[in-house]
């Protein structure tokens, strides 16, 4: 309907041009919106207001001319000029009821579209370091990313979901060393645990497992380990140099091969845990991309060589710098350190080069908001690699600030004091967790009150939407119990008898669903879908309380059943996209 009206306006616009009211060079900018107020009709356009200036007339006069030039359409029963120059369209109510039929025919496919035209989009999200279990901060990125991906797929994009595994680098060495030190404690060695090491219980668990299978094979005496190691911070030293020395000590005492065992055990155990966790959270990936792989197959070398060939690199103070400040970054960045090692940034350039080489039409990176300062340098790298940086869209997700009632929950991966995503899921369930996470705009700081989310009360909005679905199911069960049959065809034939205000309202809300999906997807805003589902549920609950569905008049009854089944279908489609269950009874 919206497109139809846009077409009519476009027609009028062309006529305005030929009659000379508007200059030939003016580009049409036709905007048709659904009205907020029913007295403004069903659709509205501000075309006359926006064009008044270029047409050098006042908006009202222009609007009159446009209305006069509009072609007839059997579904448009009235066109009005209103306010400062709005053109309001009133649509034939009977035509609107067709949506009920359409929803029934299209079923789970209702709302899907092909705006994406099969374009390849890569969505990378979560990508947390495999140095510990996912915490509730990662949960928001996981929920948000997976829904963004699903929405894009729903509107016709070819979506590739990916997790970048940072399985190389210093953090992993700290993990491996942490595990080894815990293992030595299990063996009975007495030695201090570095303040900068990973302290979580999961580190101990991995150490225990290694000891169970390998016994004392990796045991080394404590004296050798602490010998000549620079002091840790609590003893007045520097925690970074201390932990780095411990890593080197672990490597020398164990040798490359045995050290590797700890590294791999840590990585494998934690990565498996993350994979299980995400799967149980309803988050799927097409690919887990390894940073190590990138280092080993020479991709980083190639990426750096390409930057060098493009004249984007220079040497200074013994390091190799990328001149990113010429491409919008605030300063230049090191890609190869003085010690000859690549920086994390270098492998990230290689990773993005790899993404570009795989031929995606659009790349979407979803990061925690604390990484926002990283955006300009990655964009600069993409430009330097010869690609339009608009190909990369970086979406930032603000951290959820955790509360228990009024008390703020402090979190730190290193100290091991954090609430894991798994704990959250166990406490509130997958559905509530997902719903909460995507309920807000992603850039919005979010307060996540564990007390509130864990209380299974009606304050939890997910129940409200699910309950609407369950109620429809309940009505259908009642229908059976009364021994009545639902006559689908009769219901369709009588759909125009749904003249109650609540019914008309519900029909227009249902008709909006495809538009909501499209906008939510193209703007990467899942919360729009959530808002919509809440609105639909409200309209349904209101209707439910105002009118009886299972009435004696079979024609009305069937028409109403068809309407609420359409509601059920749209709730199912929408909740399905959010990967939230639709219980038939609650």
Partner RNA sequence: GCGCUUGUAGCUCAACCGGAUAGAGCACCAGCCUUCUAAGCUGGGGGUCGCAGGUUCGAGUCCUGCCAAGCGCGCCA
List binders of RNA among 526-545 (CB under 7 A): 527-528, 531, 534, 538, 541-542, 544-545
**Quick one: tokens of 377?**
């340098």
- The strands making up 86-91's β-sheet, listed across from edge to edge, are 32-34, 43-45, 86-91, 76-82
3: Cβ–Cβ under 8 A, 6 or more apart, which residues?
none
CA dihedral 355, 357, 360, 366 (to 10 degrees): 10
User: Is 34 one of the binding residues for RNA (CB under 7 A)?
Assistant: yes
Tokens of 220: 């080394």
In angstroms, the CA 396 to CA 399 distance is 9
Question: What is the DSSP secondary structure assignment for residue 133, as one 8-state letter?
Answer: -
Q: For residue 408, state whether it binds RNA (rule: CB under 7 A).
A: no
Stretch that binds RNA, among 193-201, 221-229, 297-305, 520-528 (CB under 7 A): 520-528
Q: How far is the CB of 348 from RNA (least distance, A)?
A: 8
Minimum CB distance to RNA smaller for 531 or for 581: 531
E-strand ranges in 232-322 read 287-290, 313-316, 319-322
Residue 134 near residue 96 (C-beta atoms within 8 A): no
Q: Parallel, antiparallel, or unpaired: how do β-strands 400-404 and 446-449 relate?
A: parallel
Residue placing its CB nearer to RNA in the complex, 260 or 408: 408
Residue of the chain from 253, 334, 409, 492 that contacts RNA (CB under 7 A): 334
Least separation in angstroms between residue 32's CB and RNA is 8
Q: Which one, 216 or 455, has the nearer CB to RNA?
A: 455
Question: Cβ distance 297 to 291 under 8 Å?
Answer: no
Q: What are phi and psi of 296, to 5 degrees?
A: -75, -35
For RNA, the binding residue among 21, 152, 155, 168 (CB under 7 A) is 168
Output DSSP code: residue 267: H
39 binds RNA (CB under 7 A): yes
Number of residues that bind RNA (CB under 7 A): 93
Least separation, in Å, of the C-beta of 468 and RNA?
8
Which residues 484-503 are close enough to bind RNA by CB under 7 A?
none
The answer to whether 158 contacts RNA (rule: CB under 7 A) is no
Question: Could you say whether residue 339 binds RNA (CB under 7 A)?
Answer: yes
DSSP 8-state assignment for residue 135: B
Is 421:135 a contact under the CB 8 Å cutoff? yes
Least CB distance to RNA at residue 222 (A)? 27
Q: Between residues 217 and 297, which has the closer beta carbon with respect to RNA?
A: 297
Binding mask 243-282 for RNA (x = CB under 7 A): ----------------------------------------
Binding status of residue 239 toward RNA by CB under 7 A: no
Least distance CB 571 / RNA (angstroms): 13
Q: Cα separation of 66 and 48, whole Å?
A: 8
> Which residue in 373, 405, 406, 552 binds RNA (CB under 7 A)?
373
SS3 assignment, position 579: coil
Nearer to RNA, 305 or 546 (CB): 546
Contact between 423 and RNA per CB under 7 A: no
Q: Footprint of RNA on residues 455-474 (CB under 7 A)?
A: 456, 458-459, 461, 463-464, 467, 470-471, 473-474
Residue with smaller CB distance to RNA, 356 or 396: 396
Q: Which is nearer to RNA, 11 or 170 (CB)?
A: 170
Residues written for the chain: 586
Asked whether position 387 contacts RNA by CB under 7 A, the answer is no
Q: Which residue in 56, 224, 546, 553 binds RNA (CB under 7 A)?
A: 546
Partnered with residue 123 across adjacent β-strands are 161, 364
Q: Which of residues 429-448 bind RNA (CB under 7 A)?
A: 439-441, 443-447
Phi, psi of 60 (to 5 degrees): -65, -45
331-352: b or e for each residue (b if 16 or more CB lie within 10 Å)? ebbbbbeeeeebbebbbbbbbb
The answer to the question of residue 169 lying near RNA (CB under 7 A) is yes
Residue with tokens 């309920």: 439
Stretch 55-74 residues interacting with RNA (CB under 7 A): 59
Give me the half-sphere count of Cα atoms (radius 13 Å) on the Cβ side of residue 40. 16
């Amino acid at each position: 309907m919206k497109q139809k009206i846009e077409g009519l306006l476009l027609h009028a616009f062309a006529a305005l041009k030929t009659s000379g009211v508007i200059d030939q060079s003016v580009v049409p900018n036709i905007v048709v919106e659904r009205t907020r107020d029913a007295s403004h009709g069903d659709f509205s356009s501000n075309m006359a207001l926006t064009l008044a200036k270029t047409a050098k007339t006042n908006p009202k006069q222009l609007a009159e001319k446009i209305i006069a030039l509009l072609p007839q359409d059997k579904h448009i029963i009235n066109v009005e000029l209103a306010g400062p120059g709005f053109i309001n369209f009133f649509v034939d109510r009977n035509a609107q009821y067709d949506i009920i039929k359409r929803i029934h025919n299209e079923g789970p496919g209702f709302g899907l579209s092909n705006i994406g035209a099969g374009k390849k989009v890569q969505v990378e999200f979560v990508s947390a370091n495999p140095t510990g279990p996912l915490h509730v901060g990662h949960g928001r990125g996981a929920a948000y990313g997976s829904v963004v991906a699903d929405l894009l797929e729903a509107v016709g994009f070819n979506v590739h979901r990916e997790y970048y595994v940072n399985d190389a680098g210093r953090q992993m060495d700290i993990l491996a060393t942490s595990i080894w030190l815990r293992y030595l404690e299990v063996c009975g060695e007495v030695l201090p645990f570095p303040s900068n090491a990973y302290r979580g219980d999961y580190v101990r668990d991995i150490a225990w497992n290694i000891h169970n299978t390998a016994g004392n094979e990796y045991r080394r005496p404590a004296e050798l380990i602490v010998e000549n190691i620079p002091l840790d911070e609590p003893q007045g030293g520097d925690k970074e140099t201390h932990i780095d020395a411990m890593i080197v000590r672990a490597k020398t005492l164990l040798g490359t091969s045995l050290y590797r065992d700890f590294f791999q055990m840590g990585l494998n155990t934690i990565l498996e845990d993350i994979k299980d966790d995400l799967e149980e959270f309803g988050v799927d990936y097409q690919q887990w991309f390894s940073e190590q792989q990138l280092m080993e197959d020479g991709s980083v070398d190639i990426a750096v060589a390409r930057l060098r060939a493009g004249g984007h690199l220079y040497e200074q103070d013994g390091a190799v710098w990328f001149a990113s400040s010429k491409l919008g970054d605030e300063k230049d960045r090191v890609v190869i350190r003085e010690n000859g090692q690549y920086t994390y940034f270098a492998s990230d350039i290689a990773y993005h080069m790899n993404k570009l080489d795989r031929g995606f039409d659009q790349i979407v990176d979803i990061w925690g908001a604390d990484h926002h300062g990283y955006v300009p340098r990655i964009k600069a790298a993409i430009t330097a690699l010869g690609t339009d940086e608009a190909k990369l869209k970086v979406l930032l997700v603000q951290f959820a600030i955790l509360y228990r009632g009024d008390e703020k929950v402090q979190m730190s991966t290193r100290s091991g004091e954090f609430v894991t995503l798994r704990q959250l899921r166990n406490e509130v369930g997958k559905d509530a967790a997902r719903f909460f996470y995507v309920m807000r705009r992603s850039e919005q700081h979010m307060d996540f009150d564990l007390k509130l989310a864990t209380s299974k009360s009606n304050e939890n909005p997910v129940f409200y939407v699910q309950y609407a679905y369950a109620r429809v199911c309940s009505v259908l069960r009642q229908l059976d119990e009364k021994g009545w049959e639902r006559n689908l065809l009769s219901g369709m034939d009588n759909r125009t008898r749904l003249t109650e205000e609540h019914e008309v309202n519900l029909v227009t809300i249902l008709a909006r669903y495809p538009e909501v999906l499209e906008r939510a997807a193209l703007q990467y805003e899942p919360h729009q879908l959530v808002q919509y589902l809440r609105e639909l549920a409200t309209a349904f609950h209101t209707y439910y309380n105002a009118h009886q569905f299972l009435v004696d008049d079979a024609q009305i009854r069937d028409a109403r059943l068809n309407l609420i089944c359409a509601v059920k279908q749209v709730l199912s489609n929408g909740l399905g996209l959010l990967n939230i269950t639709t219980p038939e009874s609650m």
